[in-house]
Amino acid sequence: MGAVLVTGAAGFIGAHLCRALLARGEEVVGLDNLNPYYDPALKRRRLAALTEGARPGQFRFHQLDLADHEAVLALMAAEAGLDRVAHLGAQAGVRWSLEQPFAYTASNVTGQLSVLEGVRRAEGRIRHTVYASTSSVYGARTDGAFREGDRTDHPASLYAATKKAGEVMADSYVCLYGLRLTGLRFFTVYGPWGRPDMAVWLFTDAMTQGRPIRLFNEGRMRRDFTFVEDIVAGVLAALDHPPEAPAHRLYNIGNSQPEELTELVAALEEELGVKAQLELLPMQPGDVPTTFADTSAMRRDFGWAPTTRLRDGVGHWARWWREYHG
């Protein structure tokens, strides 16, 4: 068995995926640009944790920007043992896309193209590529579960638009070059080593510092919170089962159980032993009121199903938070 290229290896989901691959004996080539969207020190600590317990040479890290296509192509050509790709690197965050739009086209459009072109030039050596998309492609909806065949041509943010562009580009590379690609639309991932810009981190930080939590749309938001270890199990299931013929498959990967933001707050109050102060605010541009994954296709094709309830996942998160912050 060859090695797996993981882009976004220092990121939240990418680091968890690397750890799972290393634990089952895989060789992993990690790529990340360690950009300052949030504190790079957190990313470096994730990377340091990956090397603990790994055998020498099992994890090889390269600090590269996905938008530097020449560097990405050179790396993929030089790592001759690569036979699978898990492309999780991206510029995340709906709200920041209002402030730094060009960062999103660089990472999510040019970066996607860099990886697709690298896979194409491998001339069949890379037998399967799994890449991260997002539930944001479904736009602002409140009409029940989101299904892969639903329309995704009305994104509510530039972030969503760039990720939709990545899906369309993948379609073209399958048609042109016969690649085997699987896109996974992630739904509101949380858990240990999470991102500081996401609700679980923001709420926990505010509560432990005695600051109010900002609840947009006056708290009337529902999210399909999905524990990171469930997400990683789904990524591995997809990666291990490439399509039999050239194809581009798309799957939702979420908890299939939307929860009110107030449920997340209540779970954090219980785990942290702190009563939250709430600041109710109007809806923010680019945000959506609900996310809700229909994951029947993941169940059918890979036997995957989430197993972590929100209260249990928040318990894992709170224990990590205390350990991380001493």
Q: Is the pLDDT of residue 218 over 70?
A: no
Structural domain includes residue 314:
no
Residues 265-301 as b or e (16 or more Cβ within 10 Å = b): bbbbeebbeeebeeeeeeeeebebebbbbbbebbeee
Structure letter (DSSP) for residue 49 = H
64 part of a folded domain: yes
pLDDT score of 54: 87
Tell me the pLDDT tens digit for each residue of 44-64: 999 999 988 789 999 999 999
Give the per-residue pLDDT at 164: 97
Looking at the domain assignment, is residue 281 inside a domain? no
Full residue range of the structural domain in which residue 237 is found: 3-187+226-254+292-307
Query: Rounded distance, CA 243 to CA 241, Å?
Result: 7
Residue 130's pLDDT band (boundaries 50, 70, 90)?
very high
In a domain, residue 263? The reply is: no
Is residue 89, in this structure, part of any structural domain at all?
yes
**Does residue 210 sit within a domain?**
no
Structure tokens at 299: 């169940």
Please check whether residue 78 lies inside any domain of the structure: yes
Q: Which of 38, 138, 159, 190 is catalytic?
A: 159
Asked if the structure places residue 216 within a domain, the reply is no
29, 82 Cβ separation under 8 angstroms: yes
Beta-bridge partner residues of 190: 227
The values of phi and psi at residue 29, to 5°, are -105, 115
Contacts of 226 (CB under 8 A, 6+ apart): 186, 187, 188, 189, 190, 253, 254, 255, 293, 306
pLDDT of residue 142: 76
Question: CATH number of the domain that 15 lies in?
Answer: 3.40.50.720
Q: What is the pLDDT of residues 246-267, one digit of tens each?
A: 999 999 999 999 998 999 999 9
How does pLDDT run across 74-127, given as a tens digit for each residue? 999 999 999 999 999 999 988 888 899 999 999 999 999 999 999 999 988 999
In a 13 Å sphere around the CA of 27, the CA atoms on its Cβ side amount to 13
pLDDT score recorded for residue 206: 97
Count of domains in the chain?
A: 1
Predicted TM-score of the model (pTM):
0.96
186: CB partners within 8 A, 6+ apart: 13, 132, 133, 134, 135, 226, 231, 253, 254
- Confidence at residue 215, expressed as pLDDT on a 0 to 100 scale: 85
As a whole number, the mean pLDDT across the chain is: 94
Contact 42, 196 (CB under 8 A): yes
Distance from C-alpha of 18 to C-alpha of 59, rounded to nearest angstrom? 8
Pairing of strands 226-227, 128-134: unpaired
106-115, 135-144, 267-276, 305-314, range with the lowest pLDDT: 135-144
Where residue 286 falls among pLDDT bands split at 50, 70, 90? low
Instruction: List, in order, residues 6 or more apart from 266 with CB less than 8 Å away.
Output: none
Q: Is 159 annotated as catalytic?
A: yes
Contact 223, 291 (CB under 8 A): yes
Q: Is the pLDDT of residue 18 over 80?
A: yes
| Residue 37 to residue 219: CA distance in whole angstroms | 26
pLDDT surpasses 70 at 25: yes
Query: What torsion do the CA atoms of 101, 102, 107, 112 make, to the nearest 10 degrees?
Result: 100
Residues 4-17 have a mean pLDDT of: 98
What letter represents residue 50's amino acid? L
